[in-house]
Structure 1
Amino acid sequence: MKFLEKLTSKKGQVSMEIGILVAAAVAVAAIAAYFYATNVKNAQADTGASAASTTGNLTNIADSATSGISSITLTA
């Protein structure tokens, strides 16, 4: 309990050490939130570009497959 007495003053005020600790925790949380938000934004852009590329490739494959249908002949 002596450790707790050192952290708080006799008047019941929160000591400067606890205030600095809370401020540091808030700063770290803000920095982490910034990096999280920027990574989500970048991932969204990359995912959109990848989806567009995949759609284009699948369209080309479907066009190639359907253009070959007319050349199919049946022999008996």
Structure 2
Amino acid sequence: MKILEKLTSKKGQLSMEIGILVMAAVAVAAIAAYYYASNVSNSGKQITNSTNQTTQVLANAISSATAELSNITD
């Protein structure tokens, strides 16, 4: 009970400490959200690049196969 009395006897200090704790939690959450958003953005860019490369390789393979088919019928 003495600990509770000590905490409640300095109400101004307790409010300040809680405020600092809340501000620290908000700052950590904001930093984590920034890194999460930037990683999601980078992942999207990497997926787009990979998809474009795969599509290009498949288009080249289809073009080659089509050219070979036209050579067979000639």
Q: TM-score, normalised by structure 2?
A: 0.76
Map residues 64-75 of structure 1 onto 2, 5 A cutoff.
Answer: 64-72=64-72
Shift of 1:66: 1.1
Shift of 1:9: 4.5
Higher share in helix: 2
What stretches of structure 1 of length at least 5 have no aligned partner?
none
Instruction: Measure, in 1, the Cα distance between the counterparts of 2:4 and 2:62.
Output: 72
Instruction: Measure, in 1, the Cα distance between the counterparts of 2:8 and 2:19.
Output: 11
Per the alignment, residue 58 of structure 1 pairs with 58
Query: What's the % identity of the aligned pairs?
Result: 61
Shift of 1:47: 1.2
Q: List 4+ stretches of structure 1 deviating above 3 A.
A: 1-11
Shift of 1:18: 1.5
What is the RMSD computed on CA atoms of the aligned residues?
Answer: 2.3
Per the alignment, residue 26 of structure 1 pairs with 26
Instruction: Measure, in 2, the Cα distance between the counterparts of 1:49 and 1:64.
Output: 23
> Which structure has the higher relative contact order (CA within 8 Å, separation 6+)?
1
Q: Which moved more, 1:49-58 or 1:15-24?
A: 15-24
Q: TM-score, normalised by structure 1?
A: 0.74
What stretches of structure 2 of length at least 5 have no aligned partner?
none
Instruction: Measure, in 2, the Cα distance between the counterparts of 1:49 and 1:2.
Output: 63
